[in-house]
Amino acid sequence: MASAAGRPALGVGMVGYSFMGRAHSQAWRTAPRAFDLPLAPRLVAVAGRSAENVEAARAQLGFEEGVTDWRALLERDDVGLVDICTPGDSHAEIAVAALDAGKHVLCEKPLATSVDEGELMVAAAERAAPSGVKAMVGFNYRRVPALAFARQLIADGRLGAIRHVRAVYLQDWIVDPEFPLVWRLQAEHAGSGALGDIGAHIIDAAQFLLGDEIAAVSGLTETFVKERPLAGASAGLSAAGAAERGPVTVDDAALFLARFPGGAIGTFEATRFATGRKNGLAIEVNGALGSLRFDLERLSELELYDARDEATVQGFRRILITAAEHPYMEAWWPPGHLIGWEHSFTHEVRDLVVAIADGTEVRPTFADGLQVERVLAAVSRSAARGAWEDVT
């Protein structure tokens, strides 16, 4: 199958079309226009449950067809990759079936809703790998140029031996107790709450930056609002005329301490109850020779402190991550012209397509995603027991 540009086409079938589906589909459309890709992504079909909604999504997101059963994607020769943008409780079933059908898979984070599901997905990826089939989990913040550059600095020894990492992800979208009981607030669909939804991001980001995996944790979780009004089709009125409510079965906030095998220690905080914070991800790494700090609300900047500078000029310096020499930036604009949040997904697509074409490893792998699942499970166990827990 060849594209109009003469390069082989990579047919994409997407499952799910809401928030992440919109972000991913924009990335598939944009990546071949920003980067010189070896394969030409083709948006073949999008799958969802409602024929009416699928057709609307197909037209808006740029897919050629819409289907109401994701299994139909696996039977098509013109679909080479399945992009999973559904709630976490369906990730394992779709990913395992797609990999066993010989399709490449991009699965949005978190990988699954449990360690057991994650292990099934890793096993499927390992079965498919000898045939050149790729499986990647979508931790898009690895593809923010400032964080990718920060990893380079740490790997090059610029900070020396790493002592501390502290990471927070702060949101406030459910501070209203009357916010409805959406799927993200139900353990059977989401696995966990702020811990798995946004905490997973800072866990992966810290492990990515340090090149080290969290070994032990001590955690605390809290659910501030125990019940919420039922959402959507489940909503109704009680005999007294009040909106029916259901239990919130995930955490609203999670905090934990962490130890890394390399000797570093860390603090992590993920909450949906930080009033006034909309998408406040920040991470700081302290080493023997320096420190760096990243704030998502200043996405194109990195702060760097070098303890080897003369005392008279020491201080955190602001690095503007817009030079062509910075990761991914050769595809975009002149120095000083900023990029945005959505570009991280475009970079994700770029790296995946190149790995498929070249037969090289793509990160983060499903095994990387499983490692994050193990950390999430250990934090939950620790919070329940009130004691340190080993991740493995």
pLDDT in tens, 105-130: 999 999 999 999 999 999 999 999 99
Please count the structural domains in the chain: 2
The answer to whether residues 55 and 152 belong to one domain is: no
CB half-sphere exposure, 173, CA atoms < 13 A: 15
Residues 33 and 109 both lie in one domain: yes
Residues 100 and 148 in one domain: no
Parts of the chain with a pLDDT under 50: 1-2, 4
- The CA–CA distances, whole Å, from 46 to 51, 56, 58, 77, 244 equal 11, 11, 6, 15, 34
Assess whether 123 and 272 both reside in one domain.
no
Q: Please tell me the predicted confidence (pLDDT) of residue 2.
A: 47
Q: Structure pTM?
A: 0.94
DSSP conformation letters of 82-112: EEE-S-GGGHHHHHHHHHHTT-EEEEESSS-
261 and 318 together in one domain: yes
Whether 231 maps to a domain, the answer reads no
| Parent domain of 208 | 143-221+251-340+364-390
Q: Are residues 121 and 206 in the same domain?
A: no
Q: Are residues 313 and 165 in the same domain?
A: yes
C-alpha distances out from residue 334 to 5, 322, 326, 341, Å: 27, 7, 12, 18
CB 282 within 8 A of CB 293: yes
Question: Of 97, 103, 101, whose CA–CA distance to 121 is shortest?
Answer: 97
- Give the CATH number of the domain where residue 21 resides: 3.40.50.720
Report the Cα 121 to chain-centroid distance in Å. Answer: 16
